[in-house]
Amino acid sequence: MKLTLSSGNPLEHKCSVLVAGCFEKNLEAPFIAPFDQAFGGWLGSLSETGEFTGKLNKCVMIHTLGRVAPDRLLLVGLGKKGKLTGERMRQAAGSAVQVLRKAGLKNGVSILHMAGGELPDLLRAEMEGYLLGGYSFDHYKTDPDISGGVEELTILVNQGAEKTSENIVSETVMLCESVIIARELVDQPANVATPSFLAEKAVEVAGRYGLECRVMEGEEMEQNGMAALLAVAKGSCQPPRFIILEHRGGKEKDKPIVLVGKGVTFDSGGISLKPGKGMEMMKDDMAGGAAVIGTLTAAARMKIPVNLVGLIPAVENLPDGRAYKPGDLVKSMSGKTIEIVNTDAEGRMILCDALHYAQRYKPAALIDLATLTGACVVALGSFATGLMSNDDGLAKVLKKAGEASGERLWELPLWEEYGELMKSDIADMKNAGGPEAGTISAAWFLKQFVGKTRWAHLDIAGTAWEEKGRPYLPKGATGIGVRLLVEYLQGIVAGKTA
Ligand code: BES
Ligand code: ZN
Ligand code: ZN
């Protein structure tokens, strides 16, 4: 979708549809009054009959029959006046673009942000809502009637504000296109998105946007002693890959932020096979890796002045004659020994070697993203990502970035006592605890491999995939993590963080 800027009187702007926001109850919105007059006060009646009351995300489309220049008016509820936030604006725009899409409209003009007085943050949120809400994954639909969705939206700003708003457009487009890179990778079926496919994509975006990229293959992983990662890979014919992406936006001596993303391109559970029902969903088990590729892309395109490293261990977890088994003993790259009790706890196996490997960069902060535990879905559902950290300061800034981006985090404790759940009789630890505190015991396991590095773990099991569809999160992959991490990195640049 293309976003363009224009200015002028909305009443006189010829277009197929004008999108305007209204606040709840009296549908108060100053720029709406002239429309109301042109129609002899219909807005009041709309709200009286309850057809449209301005409730957040509710929409109504009206044909204007030539009374004003736009052919149609799409009124979008913004909720209560005085409660308008960036998140609400994102949702309103997302709701609007989905209505346009369903109506088969290819383009439109928007004045949604004007309800909030054209603040840059609201303008940005509106654009995000449109770009993210308008996404759909239909590469494999062969029916030519399936529309490509909304093609162009024009944002109408005040006269003279076009120049200053141009920056906001280009930044938001770069950010949202990076989110969409992540979504596309996750939405791809697992017979397409294999570990080598992920690596090829990483090489491709690196070439396009000026990132450094190196891909390690099995032999080099072996030389590095990455036996935990390789143990998981053994059950699949698809060879593993270890993807290293680098963005050198900061000063030479600046320590990098290192991001690690779980890249299990399909998780059948392995020998500890998952039940068949819903197993197809496990193609999203590389959403952490996709988020890392998306974030590095955004950082490069937006020229964020930080040094950033992305590490993605990529494997497929399948049962096979060569597969690792419950009861096996694995010696990780760090030297710590692991007793396998469940081959479905594979994410931590690949992450533990990647987190250990990350130490060589002497990271200023180390953040991993992983669809790690079903327990996190039970605890937080799809409305928050689980956060666990060994550093309160890092946890705090990440939570703030979560609020600002709309990708919210909820912290769980990571007390030493949880290690009790992971004790093994024959090794330093087991790879899975019991049914209690599954999200925390997984994080405790990862913590054993980060040394003294400031580290945060984000369990995105519940947030990587949207089941029903929300205003700016259409059904399918959400691209979770990219907007959060870009917000976090921008916070560092603005000097807000330690
Ligand atoms: N990829 C899954 C976690 C998952 C489950 C993500 C459901 C999204 C939805 C992970 O590899 C896994 O299977 N974890 C196990 C761990 C257990 C064996 C300790 C789980 O959560 O059941
Ligand atoms: Zn698993
Ligand atoms: Zn998994």
Output the tens digit of pLDDT for each of the chain's 498 residues.
Answer: 999 999 988 888 999 999 999 999 767 666 677 788 888 887 778 888 889 999 999 999 999 999 899 999 999 999 999 999 999 999 999 999 999 999 999 999 999 998 877 688 999 999 999 999 999 999 999 987 776 799 999 999 988 888 889 999 999 999 999 999 999 999 999 999 999 999 999 999 999 999 999 999 999 999 999 999 999 999 999 999 999 999 999 999 999 999 999 999 999 999 999 999 999 999 999 999 999 999 999 999 999 999 999 999 999 999 999 999 999 999 999 999 999 999 999 999 999 999 999 999 999 999 999 999 999 999 999 999 999 999 999 999 999 999 999 999 999 999 999 999 999 999 999 999 999 999 999 999 999 999 999 999 999 999 999 999 999 999 999 999 999 999 999 999 998 554
Which residue among the candidates 55, 67, 274, 400 is catalytic per the annotation? 274
| Protein residues near ligand 2, an ion, with CB under 5 A | 267, 344, 346
Distance from the CA of 59 to the center of ligand 1, in angstroms?
Answer: 38
Which uninterrupted H or E stretch holds 38?
Answer: helix 33-38
The closest alpha carbon to 247, from 183, 195, 197, 302, belongs to 302
* Whether 69 contacts 11, CB under 8 Å: yes
Q: Is the pTM of this model over 0.95?
A: yes
The closest alpha carbon to 198, from 211, 184, 209, 212, belongs to 184
Q: Which ligand has an atom closest to residue 269 CA?
A: 2
Burial label for 113, CB within 10 Å (0-12, 13-18, 19+), is buried
Q: Is 360 among the catalytic positions?
A: no
Q: Which amino acid is at 394?
A: L
Of all protein residues, whose CA lies closest to atom 3 belonging to ligand 1? 373
* Alpha-carbon radius of gyration of the chain: 24
- The rounded distance, in Å, linking the Cα atoms of 16 and 255 is 51
Report the nearest atom of ligand 1 relative to the CA of 264: 1
- The rounded distance, in Å, linking the Cα atoms of 400 and 391 is 15
Report the nearest atom of ligand 1 relative to the CA of 346: 11
Residue to mutate, 262, 373, 385, 422, ligand 1, most ligand atoms under 8 Å from C-beta: 373
Axis-axis angle for helices 347-358, 438-447 (nearest 10): 30
Distance from the CA of 344 to the center of ligand 1, in angstroms?
Answer: 7
> φ, ψ for residue 107 (rounded to 5)?
-150, 165
Q: Which ligand has an atom closest to residue 279 CA?
A: 1
152-157 vs 107-110, strand pairing mode: parallel
Of all protein residues, whose CA lies closest to atom 5 belonging to ligand 1? 374
- The rounded distance, in Å, linking the Cα atoms of 463 and 471 is 15
> φ, ψ for residue 366 (rounded to 5)?
-125, 125
Distance from the CA of 346 to the center of ligand 1, in angstroms?
Answer: 8
pLDDT value for 28: 67
What letter does residue 326 receive in the DSSP assignment?
T
Pocket of ligand 1 (CB under 6 A): 267, 285, 342, 344-347, 371-375, 377, 432, 438, 461
Distance from the CA of 433 to the center of ligand 3, in angstroms?
Answer: 15
- The rounded distance, in Å, linking the Cα atoms of 196 and 233 is 12
Report the nearest atom of ligand 1 relative to the CA of 282: 1
Residue where the block lists tokens 């088994």: 325
Residue to mutate, 229, 280, 344, ligand 1, most ligand atoms under 8 Å from C-beta: 344
Q: Which residues share a beta bridge with 470?
A: 473
Which residue among the candidates 88, 201, 348, 454 is catalytic per the annotation? 348
Distance from the CA of 44 to the center of ligand 2, in angstroms?
Answer: 55
All residues at 6 or more sequence positions from 13 whose CB lies less than 8 Å from its CB, including other chains: 6, 69, 70, 109, 156
Burial label for 392, CB within 10 Å (0-12, 13-18, 19+), is exposed
pLDDT value for 54: 93
Q: Which amino acid is at 71?
A: D
Distance from the CA of 376 to the center of ligand 1, in angstroms?
Answer: 9
Of all protein residues, whose CA lies closest to atom 22 belonging to ligand 1? 374
Q: Which residues share a beta bridge with 310?
A: 245, 259
The closest alpha carbon to 202, from 129, 266, 251, 265, belongs to 265
pLDDT value for 498: 47
Report the nearest atom of ligand 1 relative to the CA of 438: 19
Of all protein residues, whose CA lies closest to atom 19 belonging to ligand 1? 432
Distance from the CA of 286 to the center of ligand 3, in angstroms?
Answer: 8
Alpha helix locations (H) across 105-161? 120-133
Token pair, residue 112, equals 């949604």
All residues at 6 or more sequence positions from 178 whose CB lies less than 8 Å from its CB, including other chains: 294, 295, 297, 298, 301, 482, 486
* Whether 487 contacts 479, CB under 8 Å: no
Report the nearest atom of ligand 1 relative to the CA of 274: 13
Q: Which amino acid is at 179?
A: V
* Whether 330 contacts 338, CB under 8 Å: yes
Q: Length of the chain in residues, anyone?
A: 498
Q: Which ligand has an atom closest to residue 326 CA?
A: 1
